[in-house]
Amino acid sequence: MSHNELADEILRLVNGGENIRTLTHCATRLRMEFNDRAAVNSEQIEKLPGVISVVERGGQFQIVVGNDVQRVFRVLEKATSGNKPTTTPQAKQERGGIVSQIISVISTTFTPVIPAITGAGMIKALLAICKLTGVMNESSPTWQLLNIISDAAFFFLPVLLAYGAALKFECNAILAMTIAGALLHPDLGKMLASGKPVDFLGLPFQLADYAGSVLPIILTVWLMSYIERFAERVSPSIIKFFVKPMIILLVTAPLALVVVGPLGIWLNDVVASGAVIIDRHASWLIPMLMGGLQPFLVITGTAWAMTPIATGQLSKNGFEMINGPGMLASNIAQGAATLCVALKTRNKNLRQLASSAGFTALLGITEPSLYGVTLKLKRPLIAAMIGGGCAGIYAGLSGLVRYAFVSPGLAALPAFIGANPMNIVHALITCVIAIVVTFALTWILGFDDIPDGDTQPLKAAPAPVNLKPGTIISPLRGEMVPLAEVKDDVFSHGLLGQGVAIRPEEGVLRAPVSGKVMTFLPSCHAVGLMSHDGMEVLVHIGLDTVALGGQHFSSSLQVGDEVQAGDELVRFDLAAIAAAGYDLITPVVIINSDEYAVTTAPAAPVDFGQPIMELSLREQAA
């Protein structure tokens, strides 16, 4: 599936571009917020070829698509470019707790900024290499010009963050950036340098240096979002065009300079001081925790929480020890665990995925490795967390720091070249520890592999005699009920299509039609078939059973297999799944039912092969 086709399918499954309230992306993920979350079919999105995983964390709907994320994003951006952000009652109800809201603000604010600070960081790393090798020195005009370019993103960081914060708080981005510009105005710097007392309307206030700051502008834009709504209400329609922005600037900018900015600087200093104290008394602690728990932070969406502190340290000190050292250990460990899986597995599909994802993780992008391999296999993830923690301890004890904001990995090792010539040596040793410890643990702990050819072949059951075209037979033995009885709005409201549901009495799923397997995930809980005459049938065993990750399911089915009606597809443990607290009601849905007139059999006990639906093309039915 091309990136254009993937974007089109995502648009269809999120109920169109008009349902996307905010759209951003990072290195591997599309990040969205919706006007109507209930209209989004996350299960079908996760099954799309090219989608590694779907994650909902920090108030965002995140689609992990890997290295093609920018191309998919550009197609989606065109489809949503005319959207006006709105806040619906549902969006307000689903904001979550205070921690979730804070993480959502940080991630949405920083995501658009990442290309600028990453690019600037790589130029910093390039300058470090040039200085180390003697190609250029600090007195060279070329070096000075490149240094100005690399410093720009951090000096004007409040302006960049103002744009992302305006997206999150749904206010005017240009006005937000203008206020950030006021915080960085050179005349303000001259007033600060003079050391003379400053007052506004007779009220004295504390000037501060906002270059490279984070919290002041985020707090300011949050305040501005309320002031903008107030200005919208009180501005007369006939002169709103120039009165509204005047009110916003006239109220927000002084409040930012007098109250919000100094408060943000104070909060920023308090947090930074706490990190310094921890580093002074237990230098190993933060890198160990980041090295070991980084996968957990990524999964839960809390990995962004430390970003403001790290960028603040980079802007103020020229280096940081909060994110970079621990993330280097964690990323390299993820790559080592995944490449070990690639070497050890006998499943050619898993080997291909793990080889690609492992190499990408070593370069600093871990989502394909985490969601595609280690999280599903579990024990390699444990090995990666232990290996990352061990390497993080060494990084902390050695005083490893990062001099540029880049995703730590082998490709970004120049970001660890700086004033201390031993820093890069410590970075290399950290990588070696992460690789050796993680690879050895992954090899020893192993994982539940499904080698090619080791599983039993699909068992066939005879299909009903004289099966008419357009007939869907029961894939299960059990009690058939209307689809409306399924306690999932996506199925019961027919959002995926018309169909029926079956409460299974035996843990065997058979093919309801003859055709080709179009969708089948390692979790084995759902099968999508395309019949030879064009019917698209989805059978979903239980509700939310994807969370089991394939536990209590077994199958040798693969996408692309040809099956005959009645062939055995999946075996599952009814008692174990029910004991785990999952509802086993199984929807059987015609995905393209808008093309057919669908007649369902009445609710009753059904057996394998018994007709449960008859389909005819609407033109023929008419």
Catalytic machinery residues: 26, 540
Angle at 577 between CA 571 and CA 583, to 5 degrees: 110
Q: DSSP string covering 275-316, please?
A: HHHHHHH-TTHHHHHHHHHHHHHHHHT-GGGGHHHHHHHHHH
- How far is the C-alpha of 188 from the C-alpha of 182, rounded, in Å? 8
Q: What is the three-class DSSP state of 467?
A: coil
- How far is the C-alpha of 541 from the C-alpha of 555, rounded, in Å? 13
Residue 374 carries which side chain, given as an amino acid letter?
A: T
How far from 308 is each of 217, 218, 325, CA to CA, in Å?
12, 10, 16
- Asked if residues 588 and 499 have their Cβ atoms less than 8 Å apart, the reply is yes
Q: What share of the chain is helix, strand, coil (3-state, %, to 5)?
A: 55, 15, 30
> 369-399 burial by CB neighbour count: b if 16+ within 10 A, else e?
bbbbbbbbbebbbbbbbbbbbbbbbbbbebe
Tell which residue, 410, 407, 474, 415, has the closest CA to residue 612: 474
Q: Which two tokens stand for residue 307?
A: 């970003």
Q: Residue written as tokens 């690879």?
A: 439
**Beta-carbon count within 10 A of 331 CB:** 31
DSSP H helices, 86-185, are: 89-93, 98-110, 114-133, 141-155, 157-169, 173-183
- How far is the C-alpha of 102 from the C-alpha of 30, rounded, in Å? 19
**All residues at 6 or more sequence positions from 616 whose CB lies less than 8 Å from its CB, including other chains:** 470, 596, 597
Q: Pairing state of beta strands 568-572 and 526-531?
A: unpaired
Q: Which two tokens stand for residue 305?
A: 């929480």
Q: Residue written as tokens 């000037």?
A: 207
User: Which H or E element spans position 351?
Assistant: helix 348-362
**Beta-carbon count within 10 A of 216 CB:** 25
